[in-house]
């Protein structure tokens, strides 16, 4: 379960307007386009099954056409549990999710998927295509105060490849130091002291809970099932001030859908299909606080205190009892020192070490006393250095922090930090460019760490079993012992107009849905168990199976119909007259420049090295001015020339990149190539800003750097050696202190 709390408004209209219009989309997105289609007001109608009929929405952007088919939520697409609760200041409120939350696909790409909300006739959400491209649509009111909102457009759209999320990852967690050690030593020590300070009050029950019939056979049976986590999400008063109930529900629907796409597609040692569902959203309003302290109402707001740092904010969330949930996350609009976006407790496979997924509310020793905490918690802020964080950035931050809850520290050792050419992984502590193959995947190190934790958790009895109730319920205090809070998720759902395993086709819930899809080749869900989601008699295909099925004849198109448009590195693709699916597009010639000549096409993907194209090797400039560090650089393949080590050189000085060799926008008749804004520079220690200057990112700050200097092992050894040699000076100094 996820608990969400919001507690601070983000209201600086003048600053917001300046950042949006001058500095780009909160300095997180390099390129976006505006949308001004006419809102589809009052055009949604309910079908006989109680759900809204599918809605068709068309617009153009990014040199392509979008034709979105929007459906209301159903059992197979809903990320809210059956017993979902939305409470405001402790009082339950009803929110009809099916009235505004949607899922669907782009009609031009049946294998695509989308999710989001449809409010005031405008779509707001995420679109993912079968070729890997993805786009985010945000309503403009998320970034601009109503006084400064333009009248000529209502939304913006940007590609995920334009997001500079990687440059924030250095500050995403306050525990980071560098790409090698992963966690800040001081914070890690403090967390481990708390996690190892659990007080076990009922050891007998804990041993009984571990034992019984749940042996390794249960673990392996669980690996083949989809497991769902119940999540609680807490929203503080800051979010309440800038969001309606529907906006808040939409915000977290999009976040959990995005996280599910990452975790559900990852196999953790054979444990597959991990998903998350929201069981409760708790919203605190400003009425719950006065002068930085909670007011005396039925449910205390733990987040009233102002000016707390990120670790103390996590501690505030951990002080509440969240035993009824697998995870409990607090969302806020607080701008933490250092630009930190999130923090979470790291799980351990050690059975007696508390913290992370499924951890219950337990007593911990603290100084000479004790305190109760829930260490199945994390926090996310939606503000960074005065800028509203785009949804896609906070979604990836949430996925990263949950990775900590599942037992993954930041990636190490070096084999899990491969760098170029495929990039670093999602749990990498420092900067990654975001366009590499590995950037949205877990490394083998992370998978191994998470597998150890999940294996330990799945050995335990599920918390909703009859055995658990005999022990006193879901929140029984049993110390640090692991619990299994996972539940089996729902399977494929016929009627959602998405072809899933076990289905021939899927045109919708009823005949009306199929007519809307112009699909006469498939039986809808209401046709009965024997024929539902199966092709009609004599039909060879259904349009729900792919764009190459002719709906009029229920056969693959005989003509060479175009089914996929041309892209930078892929040719236009046509149907092959034998399959309803669009065949893979033929790649364009390898070596063609793409991404403004900073990459080249490689087997249909724009991820090839422009240095390798001319027989050189990728490298980073590490010495020079900020402008110089943002030059695209190469070195000799062998690293030597005439037996002399060749330094990494700017392409502005290499003959292979002379004037006319490569074209780059805004640099006509100039040699060499410049890195695009948002690209990593200085060996991943910084990023190129909009002015093409390398800006370094410091994860520690001055106090941490001073601590590292003072307590560095080399420094301590030198002090020890000096004392051994000059012992007489130490003795005299000690006597002087005693005498004077």
Catalytic residues: 401
Q: What is the DSSP letter of 490?
A: P
HEC assignment per residue over 694-726: EEECCCCCHHHHHHHHHCCHHHHHHHHHHHHHC
Quote the CA–CA distance of 305 and 362 in Å, as a whole number: 23
Record the tokens describing residue 179, joined without a space.
Answer: 């790409």
Helix 444-458 to helix 216-223 angle (10° resolution) is 130
Q: Is the Cβ–Cβ distance between 279 and 83 less than 8 Å?
A: yes
- 727 prior amide bond cis, ω within 30: no
Q: Is 65 helix (H, G, I), strand (E, B) or coil?
A: strand
Which residue is listed with tokens 């289609």? 37
CB 614 within 8 A of CB 634: yes
410 in a labelled binding site? yes
Query: Tokens in use for 514?
Result: 């199929």
The structure tokens 């070729």 sit at 131
CA atoms within 13 A on the CB side of 564: 26
* φ/ψ (deg, to 5) at 280: -150, 140
DSSP secondary structure string for all residues of 591-610: T-EETTTTEEEETTEEEEEH
Contact 277, 259 (CB under 8 A): no
123-127 contacts at long range (C-beta below 8 A, 24 or more positions apart): 123/57, 123/68, 123/70, 123/155, 124/155, 124/250, 125/254, 126/254, 126/257, 126/258, 126/391, 126/392, 127/66, 127/68
Neighbours of 710 (CB within 10 A): 10
Residue 420: CB partners within 8 Å, gap ≥ 6? 609, 618
Hey, CA dihedral for 634, 640, 641, 647, is it positive or negative?
positive
145 is an annotated ligand-binding site residue = no
Alpha carbons within 13 angstroms on the beta-carbon side of residue 325 total: 32
- Is 404 within any annotated ligand binding site? yes
Binding residues for Zn(2+), by number, are 400, 404, 410
Binding residues, by number, are 400, 404, 410
């Amino acid at each position: 379960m996820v608990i969400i709390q919001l507690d601070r408004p983000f209201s600086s209209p003048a600053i917001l307007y300046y950042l949006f219009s001058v500095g780009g989309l909160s300095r997180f997105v390099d390129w976006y386009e505006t949308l001004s289609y006419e809102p589809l007001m009052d055009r949604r109608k309910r079908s006989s099954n109680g759900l809204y009929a599918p809605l068709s929405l068309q617009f153009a952007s990014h040199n392509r056409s979008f034709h979105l088919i929007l459906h209301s939520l159903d059992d197979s697409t809903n990320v809210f549990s059956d017993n979902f609760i939305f409470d405001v200041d402790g009082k339950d409120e009803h929110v009809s999710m099916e009235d505004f939350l949607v899922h669907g696909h782009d009609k031009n790409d049946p294998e695509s998927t989308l999710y989001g909300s449809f409010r005031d006739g405008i779509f707001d959400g995420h679109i993912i295509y079968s070729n890997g491209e993805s786009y985010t649509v945000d309503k403009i009111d998320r970034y601009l105060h109503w006084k400064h909102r333009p009248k000529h457009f209502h939304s913006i759209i940007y590609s995920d490849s334009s997001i500079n999320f990687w440059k924030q990852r250095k500050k995403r967690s306050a525990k980071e130091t560098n790409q090698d050690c992963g966690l800040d030593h001081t914070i890690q020590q403090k967390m481990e002291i708390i996690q190892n300070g659990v007080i076990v009050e009922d050891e007998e029950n804990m041993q009984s809970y571990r034992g019984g019939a749940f042996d390794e056979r249960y673990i392996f049976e669980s690996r083949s099932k989809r497991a769902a986590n119940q999540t609680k999400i807490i929203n503080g008063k800051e979010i309440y001030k800038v969001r309606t109930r529907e906006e808040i529900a939409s915000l977290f629907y999009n976040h959990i859908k995005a996280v599910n796409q990452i975790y559900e597609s990852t196999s953790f040692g054979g444990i597959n299909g991990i998903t998350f569902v929201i069981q409760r959203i708790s919203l605190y309003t400003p009425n719950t606080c006065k002068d930085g302290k909670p007011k005396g109402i039925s449910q205390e707001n733990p987040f009233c205190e102002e000016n707390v740092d990120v670790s103390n904010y996590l501690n505030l969330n951990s002080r509440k009892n969240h035993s009824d949930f697998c995870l409990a996350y607090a969302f806020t609009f607080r701008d933490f020192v250092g630009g930190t976006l999130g923090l979470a407790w790291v799980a351990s496979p050690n059975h007696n070490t508390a913290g992370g997924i499924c951890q219950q509310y337990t007593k911990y020793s603290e100084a000479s006393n004790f305190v109760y905490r829930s260490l199945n918690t994390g926090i996310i802020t939606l503000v960074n250095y005065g800028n509203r964080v785009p949804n896609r950035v906070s979604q990836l931050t949430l996925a990263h922090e949950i990775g900590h809850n599942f037992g993954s520290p930041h990636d190490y050792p070096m084999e899990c930090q491969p760098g170029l050419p495929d990039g670093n992984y999602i749990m990498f502590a420092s900067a990654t460019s975001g366009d590499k193959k590995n950037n949205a995947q877990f490394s083998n190190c992370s998978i191994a760490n998470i597998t150890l934790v999940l294996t330990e958790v799945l050995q335990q009895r599920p918390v909703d079993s009859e055995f658990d109730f005999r022990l006193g319920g879901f929140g029984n205090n049993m110390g640090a012992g692991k619990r299994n809070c996972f539940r089996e998720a729902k399977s494929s759902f016929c009627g959602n107009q998405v072809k899933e395993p076990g289905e021939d086709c899927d045109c919708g819930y009823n005949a009306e849905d199929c007519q809307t899809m112009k699909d006469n080749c498939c039986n809808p869900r209401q046709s009965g168990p024997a024929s539902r989601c199966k092709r009609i008699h004599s039909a060879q295909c259904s349009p729900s199976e792919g764009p190459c099925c002719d709906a009029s004849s229920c056969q693959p198109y005989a003509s060479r119909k175009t089914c996929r448009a041309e892209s930078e590195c892929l040719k236009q693709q046509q149907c092959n007259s034998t399959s309803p699916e669009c065949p893979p597009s033929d790649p364009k010639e390898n070596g063609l420049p793409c991404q403004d000549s900073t990459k080249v096409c490689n087997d249909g993907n724009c991820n090839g090295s422009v240095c390798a194209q001319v027989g050189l090797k990728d490298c980073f400039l590490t010495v020079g001015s900020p402008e110089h560090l943002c030059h695209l650089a190469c070195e000799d393949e062998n690293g030597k020339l005439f037996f002399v080590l060749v330094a990494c050189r700017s392409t502005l000085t290499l003959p292979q990149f002379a004037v006319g060799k490569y074209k780059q926008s805004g640099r006509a008749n100039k040699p060499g190539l410049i890195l695009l804004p948002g690209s990593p520079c200085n060996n991943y220690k910084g990023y190129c800003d909009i002015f093409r200057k390398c800006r370094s990112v410091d994860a520690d700050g001055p106090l941490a750097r001073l601590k590292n200097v003072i307590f560095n092992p080399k420094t301590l050894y030198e002090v020890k050696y000096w004392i051994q040699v000059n012992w007489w000076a130490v003795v005299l100094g000690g006597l002087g202190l005693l005498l004077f």
